[in-house]
Amino acid sequence: MVRFIEENITKMLETKIISKSEVLYAGGDDGDTSPATKIFQDFQINEEDVGRGGGLIRSWVDSMRACSPTHLKPFDNQSSWIKEHPSALNMFEEILHESEGKQIVMFLDYDGTLSPIVDDPDRAFMSNKMRNTVRKLAMCFPTVIVSGRSREKVYSFVKLTELYYAGSHGMDIKGPEQNSKYKKKTQSLLCQPATEFLPVISEVYMKLVEKTKSIQGAKVENNKFCASVHFRCVDENKWSDLAHLVRSVLKNYPKLMLTQGRKVLEIRPIIKWDKGKALEFLLESLGYENCTHVFPIYIGDDRTDEDAFKILRDKRQGLGILVSKYAKETNASYSLQEPDEASCYGFFGTSGGMEKVKEWGMKSLQSLVAINANLQTVNI
């Protein structure tokens, strides 16, 4: 991802609930026919047949293994996948052509995209070089950080006031505080569609902390409008035990659901909101709803980013870029191989890179001014 920004971007200057494949569990059965409830009903049948939720837990653990990178195949053996999702580096000229004359809006995931994936989620720091790159990128285009972390937590990592932040998987959105030429449009922007769930998320968080104390390596994180159970440092033989403990808490909360990310279980409210809805909301807030002259670019590495990728693909607007060194099912149009931690920051020192970013931004702006002038002439 960093190489894409420095070597290439810099060269230029449905409303839906979480997808069926992503939902592991929805805690309740009130007659709802949503995908989450249907899956839960299937798991209930397994529970009755096997006892003690054996079928349900096995499904959880199978899904946990499936989303674990150690169980996926490297790119080298997936030439057909690469053909369907070519490298954004190799296809940059095509991306440049697609975005010509349009307003680019950048959406960036945090963990695994702006920072490396680390064992301790509290130490997922971005480098100063990455921070400077994102700061200068925001000088040219509206730039949004979209994360499953709480908005306050991801801001504490990024520390840039000129960005838009969408925390808690898009359930907590706030506009830039200063130094953004787009601030006037979104000066009082604040969107929190799951506020009513704050007490229950806090309650579940505390119960999960207590319940999972016996699992070495498990870490529970309060992300304000959702909670995360990290199992990256948990022995795989203990995943089933962890799943049992998480289920013992969630079964009493019918308005919450369980989804998965990269070695993390996410407890979220069952509402029609996700990173895709957050993307749509922000584009509308910026004045780009149903606009043919906007080009959103969303870069992310997690299953939760698929909601945003799908929005862009369905609308045939902009593009999604999956950051991963493994081939996996995705709605993204392009891919970037995940840089290894030893050398990923070496790409940031490109000489003159940011000057090229500014040049790209000016060219995009000039094209937009010309297009708008022509439209006004036609309207008159």
Choose which CATH entry (1.10.630.10, 3.40.50.1000, 3.20.20.70, 3.40.50.300) describes domain 2-15+74-194+273-379.
3.40.50.1000
Predicted confidence (pLDDT) at residue 101 exceeds the cutoff of 90: no
47 or 65, greater pLDDT: 65
The rounded mean pLDDT for the chain is: 77
Burial of 89 (0-12, 13-18, 19+ CB in 10 A): middle
- Taking the C-alpha atoms of residue 299 and residue 156, their distance in angstroms, rounded to an integer, is 20
Q: In what order do the strands lie in the sheet with 143-146?
A: 190-191, 172-174, 164-167, 143-146, 103-109, 294-300, 319-323, 334-336
- Taking the C-alpha atoms of residue 126 and residue 147, their distance in angstroms, rounded to an integer, is 14
Share of residues in the chain with pLDDT > 90 (%): 47
The pLDDT, as a whole number, for residue 215 is 97
Strand-pair category, 172-174 with 164-167: antiparallel
The residue extents of the domains of the chain are 2-15+74-194+273-379
- Using one digit for the tens of pLDDT, what is the confidence trace for 239-270? 999 999 999 999 999 999 998 888 999 999 99
87 or 167, greater pLDDT: 167
Q: Do the beta carbons of residue 101 and residue 138 sit within 8 Å?
A: no
The residue written with tokens 């997936």 in the block is 78
Predicted confidence (pLDDT) at residue 368 exceeds the cutoff of 90: no
Mean pLDDT of 310-316: 95
Burial of 200 (0-12, 13-18, 19+ CB in 10 A): middle
Predicted confidence (pLDDT) at residue 36 exceeds the cutoff of 80: no
Strand-pair category, 256-261 with 319-323: unpaired
- Which of the 8 DSSP states describes residue 111? B
Query: Sorting pLDDT into bands at 50, 70 and 90, what band is 307?
Result: very high
Query: Sorting pLDDT into bands at 50, 70 and 90, what band is 359?
Result: low
164 or 137, greater pLDDT: 164
Closest by alpha carbon to 301, among 334, 257, 266? 334
Collapsed DSSP state (helix, strand, coil) of residue 27: coil
Is the overall model pTM greater than 0.75, yes or no?
yes
Query: Counting every residue, how long is the chain?
Result: 380
Q: Do the beta carbons of residue 115 and residue 157 sit within 8 Å?
A: yes
Share of residues in the chain with pLDDT > 70 (%): 68
- Taking the C-alpha atoms of residue 205 and residue 220, their distance in angstroms, rounded to an integer, is 7
Predicted confidence (pLDDT) at residue 14 exceeds the cutoff of 60: no
Q: Which two tokens stand for residue 114?
A: 């702006």
For residue 79, the tally of other CB atoms under 10 A from its CB is 9
Sign of the C-alpha dihedral computed for residues 154, 156, 157 and 163 taken in this order: positive
Q: Do the beta carbons of residue 362 and residue 141 sit within 8 Å?
A: no
- Sequence-distant (6+) residues with CB within 8 A of 332 are 85, 305, 306, 309, 313, 319, 320, 321, 322
Query: Sorting pLDDT into bands at 50, 70 and 90, what band is 188?
Result: low
- Using one digit for the tens of pLDDT, what is the confidence trace for 119-153? 999 999 988 888 888 898 898 899 999 999 999 99
The pLDDT, as a whole number, for residue 365 is 47
Query: Sorting pLDDT into bands at 50, 70 and 90, what band is 73?
Result: low
The pLDDT, as a whole number, for residue 340 is 35
Q: Do the beta carbons of residue 292 and residue 103 sit within 8 Å?
A: no
Collapsed DSSP state (helix, strand, coil) of residue 298: strand
For helices 128-138 and 353-379, angle between their N-to-C axes, nearest 10 degrees? 20
Strand-pair category, 227-230 with 172-174: unpaired
